[in-house]
Amino acid sequence: MLKTWKAQPIVSTVLVAVNVLAYILCCATGDMLYDRGRLDLFGVLVNKEYDRILWAMFLHSGVSHLFNNMLILFFLGSMIEKETGHVRYALLYLASGIGGNLLSLLVKAVNSDISASLGASGAIFGLDGVLLAMVLFSGRRMENVTPTRVLLMIAYSLYSGFTGHNIDNAAHIGGLLTGFILTSVICFLQRSRRKSSS
């Protein structure tokens, strides 16, 4: 029973549900939640509404934006959650989203960009980084997952972002780097622990 529970994508399912619920609430309340949660320099730095760095991860601009992100989140997230465990997966996801939004704010500040951004894609790019670090450094084999395939997936995702419109590529890169760095550190610590105990 415990093994079955560990294998279930519980966190991924909850994250998808929360994002969908947030979108439904946004549709029902007009601009209220968007005004309170989207990521922009004025809200964070002037009004000191630092919680926007977290809440922006759960807001989406439309059905297609939501659907695309949730599709990737569920399938990629389920695979990673099975390998990392529920708690570590949740922490890596949230940390990646926050890291992506922090880099987004930095780039906005440097460019005096007053535009607002939202969406889960920074955290989802973080999952790409998590997966890349796992296949490179964990020492475990994952079925049908190779460094080359992961790098091609990341390259295509970045290319799509840079050739698209109204896309916060800084959040994508920030999430990707955060997920990769944190997971690399975890992998090295785990391998050091295994060596010292053997």
Catalytic residue annotation: 121, 172
**3 state DSSP class of 117:** strand
Please give the C-alpha separations between residue 163 and each of 74, 169, 182, in angstroms, as whole numbers.
25, 10, 28
Residue 94, both tokens: 């949230």
Residue 54, both tokens: 């977290």
Tell me how far the alpha carbon of residue 140 is from its chain's centroid.
22
Distance CA 146, CA 183 (A): 16
Distance CA 16, CA 83 (A): 19
Q: How many CA atoms lie within 13 A of 195 on its CB side?
A: 7
Tell me how far the alpha carbon of residue 3 is from its chain's centroid.
26
Distance CA 99, CA 44 (A): 15
Q: Are 102 and 175 in contact (CB under 8 A)?
A: no
